[in-house]
Structure 1
């Protein structure tokens, strides 16, 4: 038990039961990993009152009571990116009380809030948000069977990782200059460019090369063999993002000559493509396996690409309608907030 934390009723009941059986107080404290004074106080209270419940008003009073927590919660939700020090400064001025950072930490937890690392998402301006909303609304009626006819394709970059696992190190304040506590970084690590495609029932071919990709390379490594193998002559729709190599005149004319239907894609929308989850899975495996050379990195990528299970692919493709609903829901919520603000002004 931490210092100052209350003893649970079940633990107090065990102390009283062992005391009634004739067990010494020191032995009870040692078996339950409590201090002797804590065990003595609980037994003394049981002798005097015959109960194990804590008396009302016992213990140290909190600086911020239940009436102060709603205001603190509203401020934390309004300013989600504020530091604990900034919240502490605001709370001292607002509540007119002497508050420490630890007190605010505890109060934030009492508000059922917690500090998390921010999730990284692509920046979207108002035009891109509207295009995403209109695209999601236009494709919302597509069934899962329709989405299974889409050939999802994308490229990603993999780098050779250096150093130990994790971003944190356990050390003292004086060990900041200890070489064992450093996180090595490389200015330009060796990397590979990877391109692949997938559908709900299988993985397509995987192409790996060094350097960047242009329109000529993109045409050379395109998905025609994968398309024939996965769809076996059935019609399909190609999905790729709006990269320069995808929207180049050479690429669009090449796709038009082969009568390949392309799915119109909104900009800055990697969260709508299920193949992005495949890249995330493979990169997590690379952090676990830690390949040391480019050759090992390529072998690991190919191995993990072939090990993606079919049920995982079906689950990712089936989640596309739910992703569209989330986009529409967020856009409507934004419209509601704007309308409420305008109604308050006028």
Structure 2
């Protein structure tokens, strides 16, 4: 005779076994080829110290949504299984409504945060590079020992962008960045900071103009301790990629 078990009994039994109900980490699905590239990058920079990483200016684009999904997917896992492949939800990049911004920072200071009123293409990105990246790099790294980090978005790899960087390669170096590596880019955690602060607002933005104003205000007030701590985590991030053999890390 087949017996049924109620949901409450199942939950109790799982907890006794050491499992807890948690939301799964959302991580990019990394291809075998890109795992190799991530591993190569980690090996090439495994001897970099925090002092070396202070010479890097980090950049990224991010879209903040006016309304967030509730992400109600939950899983049962043990405390030390947060990065187990069976406990992850893979994600892919997608568009959507909201406010898109481009930003940069280094260990020394927060850089500009630039609202992007339309989809970022090579022409628009060239304006950002010339108007914001160039003055930031030449001011922060007057000895031409700075590195500029960008990911592998199509507009970043356009010919006009590559040519511009070649024309200025005597002023700073573009860091060769591995694909699918948001866990290596500390600016991703600054986006998390802004999102948390947005959710914690007493009065939530009701339109895109209010959302943009709130984002800019929160960014400007991120503490120096916060972004410096993120840069100081780089040696640990590199070690994590090495340990994961190029796979996803807890960052």
TM-score tier by shorter-chain length is 0.7 to 0.9
Shift of 1:249: 0.9
Cα distance in 2 for partners of 1:306, 1:166 equals 27
- CA-based RMSD: 2.6
Residue of structure 1 aligned with 2:211, choices 278, 294, 297: 297
Shift of 1:326: 1.1
Residue of structure 1 aligned with 2:145, choices 213, 235, 243: 235
Unpaired runs of 5+ residues, structure 1, are 1-91, 169-187, 335-346
* Structure with higher strand content: 2
Q: Secondary structure at the match of 1:128?
A: helix
Shift of 1:332: 8.7
Residue of structure 2 aligned with 1:308, choices 208, 218, 222: 222
**1:117 matched residue in structure 2:** 23
Deviates more, 1:102-111 or 1:299-308: 102-111
**1:324 matched residue in structure 2:** 238
Q: Deviations over 1:215-254 (max 9, x none)?
A: 1111101211222333345520010000001011110111
**2:127 matched residue in structure 1:** 220
* Structure with higher helix content: 1
Shift of 1:214: 0.8
- Asked whether the equivalents of residues 270 and 276 of structure 1 are also in contact (C-alpha less than 8 Å), the reply is yes
**Aligned pairs (5 A) from 1:1-346:** 99-161=5-67, 190-222=97-129, 223-259=133-169, 260-289=172-201, 290-331=204-245
Higher relative contact order by CA 8 Å / sep ≥ 6: 1 or 2? 2
Q: Deviations over 1:11-55 (max 9, x none)?
A: xxxxxxxxxxxxxxxxxxxxxxxxxxxxxxxxxxxxxxxxxxxxx
Q: Deviations over 1:300-321 (max 9, x none)?
A: 1111111011111110001011
Deviates more, 1:223-232 or 1:134-143: 223-232
- Asked whether the equivalents of residues 161 and 291 of structure 1 are also in contact (C-alpha less than 8 Å), the reply is no
Unpaired runs of 5+ residues, structure 2, are 73-94
- Asked whether the equivalents of residues 154 and 195 of structure 1 are also in contact (C-alpha less than 8 Å), the reply is yes
- Asked whether the equivalents of residues 190 and 294 of structure 1 are also in contact (C-alpha less than 8 Å), the reply is no
- Asked whether the equivalents of residues 122 and 268 of structure 1 are also in contact (C-alpha less than 8 Å), the reply is yes
Cα distance in 2 for partners of 1:110, 1:265 equals 44
- Provide TM-score, normalisation by structure 1: 0.58
- Provide TM-score, normalisation by structure 2: 0.79
Q: Deviations over 1:118-170 (max 9, x none)?
A: 110000122211221221121111111000000101111122238xx9678xx
